[in-house]
Structure 1
Amino acid sequence: MFDVPSYPHHVLITGGSRGIGAAAVHAFAAAGYNVAFTWHAHPEAADAVLQQVQTLYPQGRFLAIQADAANPEAACHAVLQAETEFCRLDVLVCNAGIAQQKLFTELTDEDWRQMMATNLDGVFYACRAVLPGMIRRKYGRILCVSSMWGQVGGSCEAHYSAAKAGVIGLCRALAQEEGPSGITVNCVAPGVIDTDMMAGFSAEDRAALAKETPVGRLGTAEEIARTLVFLASPEAGYITGQVIGQNGGLVIG
Structure 2
Amino acid sequence: MGGVAIVTGAASGLGASVCQALHRDGWTVAGLDLRPSNTDLSLQADVTDAAAVASAVQRATAELGPIDALVTVAGIYEELPVESITDERWNRMLAVNIGGTVNACAAVVPIMLAQNAGTIVTISSDLGVGGSQGDAHYAATKGAIVGFSRSLGVELQGSGVTVNSVAPGAADTPMLAADSPWRAESFLGTLPVGRLVRPEEIAAAVLFLLEVWPALVGQIISPNAGATI
Q: Does TM-score exceed 0.5, indicating one fold?
A: yes
SS of residue in 2 equivalent to 1:212: coil
- 1:238–1:202 Cα change, 3 Å: closer
Number of the residue aligned with 2:137 = 159
Using the TM superposition, give the Cα deviation of residue 204 of structure 1 relative to its aligned residue in structure 2, in angstroms. Answer: 9.8
Identity %: 37
Deviations 1:89-113 (A, max 9, x none): 0000000000011110111100000
Q: Does 2:207 match 1:229?
A: yes
Q: Which has the higher helix share?
A: 1
- 2-side partners of 1:110 and 1:183: how far apart? 35
Q: Does 2:224 match 1:244?
A: no
Aligned residue pairs, count:
229
Normalized against structure 2, the TM-score is what?
0.95
Using the TM superposition, give the Cα deviation of residue 205 of structure 1 relative to its aligned residue in structure 2, in angstroms. Answer: 3.9
Amino acid at match of 1:29: H
Number of the residue aligned with 1:10 = 4
Deviations 1:12-58 (A, max 9, x none): 00000111100001000000000001111x44xx3xx34xxxxxxxx
Query: What is the Cα-based RMSD across aligned positions, in Å?
Result: 1.6
- 1-side partners of 2:193 and 2:62: how far apart? 44
Using the TM superposition, give the Cα deviation of residue 199 of structure 1 relative to its aligned residue in structure 2, in angstroms. Answer: 3.1
For residue 69 of structure 2, the aligned residue among 85, 91, 99 is 91
Normalized against structure 1, the TM-score is what?
0.86
Q: How does 1:86-165 map to 2 (within 5 A)?
A: 86-165=64-143
- 2-side partners of 1:92 and 1:237: how far apart? 12
Check the 8 A contact 1:12/1:36 in 2, yes or no: yes
Stretch deviating more after TM superposition (73-82 or 91-100): 73-82
Q: How does 1:184-195 map to 2 (within 5 A)?
A: 184-195=162-173
- 1-side partners of 2:68 and 2:204: how far apart? 17
- 1-side partners of 2:82 and 2:181: how far apart? 26
- 2-side partners of 1:204 and 1:167: how far apart? 22
Check the 8 A contact 1:8/1:34 in 2, yes or no: yes
Q: Does 2:21 match 1:27?
A: yes
Using the TM superposition, give the Cα deviation of residue 251 of structure 1 relative to its aligned residue in structure 2, in angstroms. Answer: 1.7
SS of residue in 1 equivalent to 2:158: helix
Runs of 5+ unmatched residues, structure 1: 1-6, 51-61
Runs of 5+ unmatched residues, structure 2: none
- 1:196–1:133 Cα change, 3 Å: same
- 1-side partners of 2:161 and 2:155: how far apart? 9
Number of the residue aligned with 2:146 = 168
Check the 8 A contact 1:171/1:187 in 2, yes or no: yes
- 2-side partners of 1:36 and 1:87: how far apart? 11
- 2-side partners of 1:37 and 1:174: how far apart? 23
- 2-side partners of 1:191 and 1:205: how far apart? 12
For residue 216 of structure 1, the aligned residue among 194, 205, 208 is 194
SS of residue in 1 equivalent to 2:167: strand
